[in-house]
């Protein structure tokens, strides 16, 4: 891999690690009933990013899985 690729891969790893750390911290310090609904928005964010990047479309099978 090129130096630029290593930089991007490192940034992805660091951001994923920080995201997991802060999610764990949130679950330790707040009631799960407040944090859990926020977690369910992952599906919506994933769909929006997929539509933005142009490679994901919601089909019938996926929409039934969301419901």
| Overall domain count for the chain | 2
Host domain of residue 53: 32-67
Read off the pLDDT of each residue in 37-58 and give the average, rounded to a whole number. Answer: 80
Does the pLDDT value for residue 57 go beyond 80? no
The answer on 44 and 67 residing in a single domain is yes
Answer yes or no: do 46 and 23 share one domain: no
Question: Is the pLDDT assigned to residue 56 strictly greater than 80?
Answer: no
**Phi and psi based region of residue 57 (left: phi greater than 0; alpha: psi -120 to 50; beta: remaining):** beta
**pTM of the predicted model over 0.75:** no
């Amino acid at each position: 891999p090129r130096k630029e690729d290593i930089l991007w891969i490192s940034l992805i790893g660091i951001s994923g690690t920080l995201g997991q750390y802060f999610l764990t911290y949130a679950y330790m310090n707040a009631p799960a009933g407040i944090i859990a609904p926020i977690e369910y928005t992952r599906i919506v964010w994933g769909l929006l990013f997929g539509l933005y990047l142009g490679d994901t479309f919601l089909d019938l099978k996926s929409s039934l899985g969301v419901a």
